[in-house]
Amino acid sequence: MSSKKRVLLLASGAGSLAQSILDAQRSEKIDLEILGVISDKDAPVLALAKEYGVDSYLIPMQTDRSEWDSALFRKVAELNPDLIVSVGFMRILPATFVARFKVINTHPALLPKFPGAHAVRDALAAGASETGATVHWVDVGVDTGEIIHQVKVPINPDDSEEELHERIKIAERALIVEVLHKYAQTGSL
C-alpha cells in the first residue's frame, strides 16, 4: 500500500479554498497529508490552519524580493511536498521555484480567458455569457500553465462582480477538492 501524497498549501487571504481542502481531508473525502500552509502575510488563513491542527508558516515579503524567494524555496525544500497547491496565493512564483516543485493553482475563470488578478471583473466587462474556475499547472507565466480541469459558471445578466465571484468560489472549492481526490487516488493529475 502506498503512502499518502504530501501536499503543501500556499495562501494569502481568508482561506476559503484552503478550508475546502482541509474539510475534505478531515471528512476523509481526500486521503492526503497536508504538510502545512504558507502565507506571505499575516492573513486569516494562518489562524484557519491552526484551527485544523495544520502547521502554518509566515514568510513575509521582503524589500529585496530575492530574499523572499530564497526563504520560500528553503522552507518548501525542507517540507519536501509531493505537490504544492496555490489557493489564493497572490504572488508570482520564481522560475527556479516552479522548475523545482510541482505546483498547481486555482483561478476564477475559464483559462486561457481572463488571466490575472481581475478575472471576474474582466469577464463581466467583456460581456461574457459564462466563466468558471480552472485548476492548472503553475509555470513562469501568469495563469499560462497547462489546464488540469475546469468547470463552467454561467454569468447572469444582472450579476454584480461580488455575486458572480461568490458563485465562482463555490465552483472553485468543489473543483480543487475533486482534483485533489483524483490525485490522492491515482498519484497523478
- From residue 167, how far is each of 19, 151, 160 by CA, in Å? 16, 12, 11
Place of cell 476523509: 28
Lookup: cell for 70: 530564497
- Strand-pair category, 5-10 with 32-39: parallel
Is residue 107 among the annotated active site residues?
yes
Task: State the Cα angle at 78 between 56 and 53, rounded to 5°.
Answer: 25
Given the residues 107, 118, 165, 181, select the one marked as catalytic: 107
Q: Which residues pair with 36 in a beta bridge?
A: 8
* Side-chain-facing half-sphere of 4: CA atoms under 13 Å: 13
Distance CA 59, CA 52 (A): 20
Which residues are designated catalytic? Answer: 107
